[in-house]
């Protein structure tokens, strides 16, 4: 774990093991150092934005480097259940590439217990860890110019729900009517980092 300066008002924590990101994120959320304003987790990094009038990089780095990334668990929250129609246009291709039936793909996807690791690409687009390794497949060789909102997809080690219609190259295996991003809701993001998710037919 390395803590690097990121301008005068932020630090970037860089991890060798992506599983440590949520542990440190939870620790800093539950016991924030003085002056910390915002935490932004990503796949292998955690951005910490701070008030330079209350702290500085060296003090923050010393605090962070003495924290455990495994002893603190994210706050318990209700599990979000996402209902899915498993009829995505790439389901047959995913089945063929993984050497199993479409029904087996659906079962394996449903059996996973997922955690939102970080958000990116678009507002509310959560990268969910916990995907069965048998379903770790690359993105499509040819991305779509428009993926419908609510599309349930897989790519690499992640699964996700497209929050809005957008271009995208993930493998589409289903769709949900559950709005995962809604600016009229507080908070608008249903799948914030640390949230547990389960998919069901």
**Other CB atoms within 10 Å distance of the CB of residue 2:** 12
What's the angle, vertex CA 148, arms to CA 146 and CA 152, rounded to 5? 115
Cα(64)–Cα(4) distance, integer angstroms: 11
Residues 108 and 40 occupy one common structural domain = no
Q: What is the Cα–Cα distance from 162 to 50, expressed in whole angstroms? A: 31
| Same-domain status, 39 and 129 | no
What CATH number has the domain bearing residue 94?
2.40.100.10
Residue 73 counted as domain residue? no
What is the per-residue pLDDT for 199? 98
Task: Say yes or no: 48 and 101 in one domain.
Answer: no
pLDDT of 91: 98
| 59 lies in the same domain as 140 | no
131 within domain boundaries: yes
Residue 12 lies in a domain: yes
The pLDDT, as a whole number, for residue 96 is 97
168 and 105 assigned to the same domain:
yes
Per-residue pLDDT 10s for the chain (201 aa) are: 899 999 999 999 999 887 788 889 888 988 999 999 999 888 889 999 999 999 999 999 999 999 988 765 555 566 899 999 999 999 999 999 999 999 999 999 999 999 998 898 889 999 999 999 999 999 999 999 999 999 999 999 999 999 999 999 999 999 999 999 999 998 899 998 889 999 999
Q: Is residue 70 part of a domain?
A: no
Residues 118, 59 share a domain: no
- Residue 87 and residue 57 share a domain: no
Q: How many domains does the chain have?
A: 2
Predicted local distance difference test score (pLDDT) of residue 75: 58
pLDDT score, position 135: 97
- List beta partners, residue 115: 129, 196
Q: What does pTM read for this prediction? A: 0.79
Looking at the domain assignment, is residue 161 inside a domain? yes
The answer to the question of residue 72 being in a domain is no
CB 26 within 8 A of CB 38: no
- Is the CB of residue 60 less than 8 Å from the CB of residue 50? yes
Query: Are residues 141 and 193 located together in one domain of the fold?
Result: yes
Give me the pLDDT at residue 19, please.
77
In a domain, 171, yes or no: yes
> How far is the C-alpha of 53 from the C-alpha of 96, rounded, in Å?
57
Residue 109's φ and ψ, nearest 5 degrees, are -65, -40
On whether both 23 and 116 belong to a single domain, the answer is no
Q: Are residues 96 and 146 in the same domain?
A: yes
CA distance 159 to 130: 8
User: Which tokens is 131 given?
Assistant: 């995907």
In this structure, the answer to whether residues 54 and 105 fall within a common structural domain is no
The domain of 35 spans 2-65
Among the candidates 65, 88, 103, a domain finishes at: 65
Query: For position 49, which CATH number holds?
Result: 3.30.1360.40
142-160 in b/e form (b: 16+ CB < 10 A) is: eebeebebbbbbbbebbbb
Structural domain contains residue 107? yes
């Amino acid at each position: 774990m390395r803590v690097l300066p990121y301008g005068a008002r932020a630090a970037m924590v860089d991890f060798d093991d992506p599983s440590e990101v949520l542990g440190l994120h939870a620790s800093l959320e539950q016991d924030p150092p003085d002056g910390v304003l915002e935490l932004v987790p990503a796949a292998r990094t955690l951005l910490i934005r701070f008030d330079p009038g209350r702290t500085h990089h060296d003090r923050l780095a010393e605090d962070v480097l003495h924290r455990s990334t495994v002893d603190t668990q994210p706050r318990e929250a209700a599990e979000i259940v996402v209902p899915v129609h498993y009829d995505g246009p790439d389901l047959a291709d995913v089945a063929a590439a993984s050497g199993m039936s479409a029904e087996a793909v659906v079962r394996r996807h449903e059996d996973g217990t997922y955690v939102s690791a970080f958000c990116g690409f678009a507002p509310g687009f959560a990268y969910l860890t916990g995907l069965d390794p048998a379903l770790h497949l690359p993105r499509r060789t040819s991305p779509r110019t428009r993926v419908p909102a609510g599309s349930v997809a897989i790519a690499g080690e992640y699964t996700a729900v497209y929050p809005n219609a957008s271009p995208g190259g993930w493998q589409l295996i289903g769709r949900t009517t559950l709005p995962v991003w809604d600016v009229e809701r507080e908070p608008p993001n249903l799948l914030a980092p640390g949230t547990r998710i389960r998919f069901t037919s």
